Amino acid sequence: MNWETLLAPYKQAVDELKVKFRGIRDQYQQTTKQSPIEFVTGRVKPINSILNKAWQKNIPLDKIEEEIQDIAGLRIMCQFTDDITTVITMLRRRNDLTIVEERDYIANKKPSGYRSYHIVVSYPVQTLQGERKLLVEIQVRTLAMNFWATIEHSLNYKYQGQIPKDIQLRLQRSAEAASRLDEEMAEIRGEVQEAQIIFSERKDEGKGSISG
Ligand code: 0O2
């Protein structure tokens, strides 16, 4: 299998969607200053992770592109839980992608404590051979959900999926704390956003005086 050829259109999809989603954030910031998108990341799944997943799920190599939905992955991080709903609505309205599946791990958190909203989309990329529709997984989460998932992911890697019981317990407690943090922030959302507008206006004034 030529991995470079197989993964090239996925890289293109990730690069294009990163630009598009970052563009939305910039448009919000220019108008309302309050973007539901805090930041966007994206990656093509490393070959060893693809092979690992295929092996774990018993997926034959010729079915990888159909069955592994996150070869191309985007993450959209939001400040507040409500922003996730705004982002999902925005994604559902787009006409440059088609939603294939949605998995709500916020309403139904995973036993590990993992929370995030996953949307699998079919996204067309233009190649020399014509248009190809690829599956892309978009994970939408708050900064608190992302912090927890990043830490848990590293621990899972370190312990090769066998996290010791005491650390698992602490992770579950910290998942609850992250969830409470999201709830608390939702309560003072208005205050936080007002402060951020004042702060960004100050920054803009500062920029004016340097360049002018
Ligand atoms: P990576 O390194 O992020 O690419 P499965 O893999 O069987 O759980 P499936 O069907 O592939 O499930 O889809 P799912 O659960 O919607 O998405 C899997 C991805 O979600 C994972 O990709 C992680 O990015 C994230 N995820 C799901 N559950 C957890 C969890 O308990 N902890 C953390 N930290 N992330 C999770 P990969 O392939 O595992 O890894």
Measure Cα distances from 35 to 29, 39, 93, 103, 200 in Å: 6, 10, 17, 23, 12
Q: Which residues contact 167 (CB under 8 A, 6 or more apart)?
A: 155, 159
Task: Kindly give the distance from the C-alpha atom of residue 118 to the centroid of ligand 1, in angstroms, as a whole number.
Answer: 10
Answer whether residue 21 is part of any domain. yes
pLDDT score, position 110: 95
Answer whether residue 78 shows pLDDT above 80.
yes
Split into its structural domains, the chain has a count of: 1
Domain of residue 38 covers: 3-206
Q: What is the pTM of this model?
A: 0.92
Q: Which two tokens stand for residue 194?
A: 């007002």
Look at residue 212 in the predicted model and tell me its pLDDT.
Answer: 39
**109 in a domain, yes or no?**
yes
Residue 160 lies in a domain: yes
- Which CATH number belongs to the domain containing residue 7 in this structure? 3.30.460.10
- For the chain, report the end-to-end CA distance as a whole number of angstroms: 57
Question: Has 137 been annotated as catalytic?
Answer: yes
Instruction: Establish if 211 belongs to a structural domain.
Output: no
The pLDDT-based confidence of 29 (bands split at 50, 70, 90) is confident
Answer whether residue 212 is part of any domain. Answer: no
Q: Which residues line ligand 1 (CB under 6 A)?
A: 45, 49, 53, 70, 73, 103, 110, 112, 114, 118, 149, 152-153
Question: Does 43 fall in a domain?
Answer: yes
Residue 188 lies in a domain: yes
pLDDT band for position 211 (50/70/90)? very low
* Whether pLDDT at 121 is above 80: yes
Give a yes or no: residue 56 inside a domain: yes
